[in-house]
Amino acid sequence: MISTINLEDCELSVRQTLEILALKGSNIVIYKNGKPCYFFGEIDDFEEEVLSLSHNQDFINYLAECRQHNQTGQKISFAEVQKKLMELDS
């Protein structure tokens, strides 16, 4: 479950926000001017995942390909992204 909070309307302290997170067992996305800016959520094996991905040459190449597509204005469909991620996973 994801809870949302608008920064402009929020009077919660960080401590109160984390208490809500602990009680609800959800993630919290904080919006500023209608756009998502911050994310509060539980971390599970995040460091290991980052380390693993930082040493995965296929993933690094895929990110470089995405940057190149972005710079040239080429678009990749969500289905193509899913397919690439599935290929990397196997």
Per-residue pLDDT of 50-76, as tens digits, reads 778 888 898 888 889 888 887 887 777
Asked whether residue 51 falls in the same domain as residue 75, the answer is yes
- The single residue listed with the structure tokens 């690094």 is 60
pTM of the model: 0.41
User: Whole domain around residue 20: which residue ranges?
Assistant: 2-40
Asked whether residue 85 falls in the same domain as residue 50, the answer is yes
| The two three-digit tokens of residue 10, written as one number | 């929020």
| Number of domain units in the chain | 2
Asked whether residue 28 falls in the same domain as residue 55, the answer is no
Model confidence at 89, in pLDDT bands (50, 70, 90)?
confident
Contact between 39 and 27 (Cβ < 8 Å): yes
How far, in Å, CA of 80 to CA of 41, rounded? 28
Mean pLDDT of the chain: 81
Contact between 42 and 23 (Cβ < 8 Å): no
Asked whether residue 15 falls in the same domain as residue 35, the answer is yes
How far, in Å, CA of 50 to CA of 44, rounded? 11
Q: Which residues contact 59 (CB under 8 A, 6 or more apart)?
A: 53, 88
How large is the angle between the packed helices 57-72 and 78-89, nearest 10 degrees?
160
